[in-house]
Amino acid sequence: MRLKDKVAIVTGGASGIGRAICEVFAEEGARLAIADIDTQGGEETVRRVRAEGGEAIFIETDVSREVEVEAMVTQTAAAYGAVNILVNDAAVFEFGKVEDVTDEQWHRVFGVNVVGQAYCVKHVLPHMKAAGGGAIVNIASVSGFIAQPAFVPYNASKGAVMQLTRCLALDLAPDNIRVNCVCPGAILTPATERHRQFEGRDREEFLAEAANGSFMKRVGDPREVAYGALFLASDEASFVTGTPLVIDGGATAQ
């Protein structure tokens, strides 16, 4: 019960890593507000959490729209009386070479992956300050460290998330608000499937190549990322801020 009596907002909680974070946080005692544009998936996450005895609500939210973020945070605080933890997991996956990426794609990937995170932080701040502090966990990626072919918009956005994390950690430390990020490698999620489809690859071949790219010789499970987010959100990480936690089976250590 490492998050007992804590209220956590998790964006992008309708599937994949976000859903796993919701489930793990609920198991550890957090009361959840799940924010996503995917209503069906978000409601399914709520159902799964409640089926295991957890407490959760779903709030349909496009994090790239500040007015929706503000309303979501207000609704969360009204429902639970506080906001102690924010996990910025909502993301879009835009791939391509720089000459092929459209203006719409640039605005979409940065609007959700970077500006959306900033909006969420902005609007939870008054509640965290009122509570005497809090923990923010941004979901970045190993793509923020490395170059990948035809990944320009996505990798640029995740590099920005890492720098956003560092700057927020510096600015918010006086308010006892810690800001860290998790950097997953190859994790088996719906996003992985979209990446495979973008490349037009055979599924078994694609996953085998992803597995062989790490020391562990396998693809990760979303819960393995969720446990990293749990540590950073919990009081166990009370002296950790401004830090990227890489969860990639050793892929970027090669």
Mean pLDDT, range 209-224, rounded to an integer: 94
pLDDT tens digits for range 90-129: 999 999 999 999 999 999 999 999 999 999 999 999 999 9
Look at residue 172 in the predicted model and tell me its pLDDT: 98
Q: Is the dihedral of CA 76, 79, 84, 89 positive or negative?
A: negative
Which DSSP string do the residues of 6-74 spell out, in sequence order? -EEEEETTTSHHHHHHHHHHHHTT-EEEEEES-HHHHHHHHHHHHHTT-EEEEEE--TTSHHHHHHHHH
pLDDT band at 81 (very low <50, low <70, confident <90, very high): very high
Which structural domain range is residue 62 located in?
A: 7-186+220-248
> For residues 180 and 178, what is the distance between their CA atoms, to the nearest angstrom?
7
Residue 204 lies in a domain: no
pLDDT tier for residue 203 given thresholds of 50, 70 and 90: confident
Confirm whether 195 is domain-assigned. no
Residue 201 inside a domain? The answer is: no
Q: How far apart are CA 232 and CA 178, in angstroms?
A: 9
Task: Let me know if residue 16 belongs to a domain.
Answer: yes
pLDDT confidence of residue 195: 74
Asked if residue 140 is part of any domain, the answer here is: yes
Amino acid at 92: V
**Number of structural domains in the chain:** 1
The active-site residue, picked from 80, 119, 154, 227, is 154
227 catalytically annotated: no
Give the residue-averaged pLDDT of 213-221: 94
Cβ atoms 15, 189 nearer than 8 A: yes
Question: What are the tens digits of pLDDT across the range 223-249?
Answer: 999 999 999 999 999 999 999 999 999
Classify residue 38: in a domain, yes or no. Answer: yes
Residue 181 counted as domain residue? yes
Residue among 211, 214, 225, 209 at smallest CA distance from 249: 214
pLDDT band at residue 205 under the 50/70/90 scheme:
confident
Whole-model pTM: value is: 0.96
Residue 93 phi, psi dihedral angles, 5° rounding: -120, 100
Please work out, in degrees rounded to the nearest 5, the angle formed at the alpha carbon of residue 97 by the alpha carbons of 17 and 204: 50
Q: Is residue 35 part of a domain?
A: yes
CATH number of the CATH domain containing 177: 3.40.50.720
Helix, strand, coil percent values for the chain (each to nearest 5):
50, 15, 30
Structure confidence by residue, pLDDT tens digits, 5-56: 999 999 999 999 999 999 999 999 999 999 999 999 999 999 999 999 999 9
